[in-house]
Amino acid sequence: MEKEPPLSQPPGSVKASASSHTHKLGLVGRLRAYFLAGILVSAPAAITIYLSWLFINFIDTAIGTVLPGKYNPEQFTPFTIPGIGLVTVVVGLIFIGAFAAGYVGRLVVGLGENIVERMPVVRSIYGTIKQIFETVLAQRSTAFREVVLLEYPRLGIWSMGFITGPPHADIQRLSEHDLITVVVPTSPIPTAGYLLFIPRKDVVVLDMTVDEGLKVVMSGGIVNPPDRRKRALVAPTPGTPS
């Protein structure tokens, strides 16, 4: 007499097993989502605090070696005061700026610049650095005010760049078109890049601020600003009910 095949599991037990498996996957998925959310919340704050601490500690160490002991507030406290060097630098720069704005200060600065202008190599370095700071810090400057796209390094490949202003007159004479100076930064470190002189008609100006463009470059395209055109289409017309 042949043996009967074993009975299969009841339908209810199969459903219970599948439900338990789905519940486990759901729990693991939620834990993974919470873990990633924790990283997204804590990592930027932790990195910012760490870099800020390194910068403050560097300034404190540098100022502590230069500041005389009798003027160092830490000589009178049993603990270290973080940020005292940074405060000293800020106060010192304010006093230097106030002095340079006066009549005597302008004479001293002018005399110092005349001396630097007579040094062959130093005058080029000093002049370039001074011009960069004056361009970046000036409120009326148009440098780094527009984010553009251009086909670089060849047609069909688009790169993001920043307009820094018009080129030198000798460079402009080489082209019949209106040239502009564009800096194409490298990603993710935008402190290096390529300097291009390109016709204005060959660039596309983006509806994006410089800060947003730098975030795109530094994140490698992971962080993108919101599309303002979509928001403008969705936004209700003034005077109409939303």
Domain ranges of the chain: 146-230
Give the burial string for 37-49 (b: 16+ CB within 10 Å, else e): eeeeeeeeeeeee
State the pTM of this model: 0.55
The CATH fold assigned to 146-230 is SH3 type barrels. (2.30.30)
Residue 55 pLDDT? 87
Average pLDDT over residues 88-115: 88
Write down the residue that tokens 């693991």 correspond to.
28
Residue 138 pLDDT? 62
Cβ-based neighbours of 231, under 8 Å, separated by 6 or more: none
More confident residue, 136 or 98: 98
Closest CA to 182 of 227, 226, 151, 141: 151
Q: Which of 26-30, 92-96, 154-158, 188-192 has the highest mean pLDDT?
A: 154-158
Instruction: Write down the mean pLDDT value for the chain.
Output: 80
Q: How confident is the model at residue 131 (pLDDT cuts 50, 70, 90)?
A: confident
Residue 195 pLDDT? 94
At 77, the amino acid letter reads: T
More confident residue, 177 or 72: 177
Distance in angstroms (rounded) separating the CA atoms of residues 96 and 105: 9
Q: How confident is the model at residue 242 (pLDDT cuts 50, 70, 90)?
A: very low
Residue 3 pLDDT? 53
3-state secondary structure of 181: strand
**pLDDT at residue 19 is higher than 70:** no
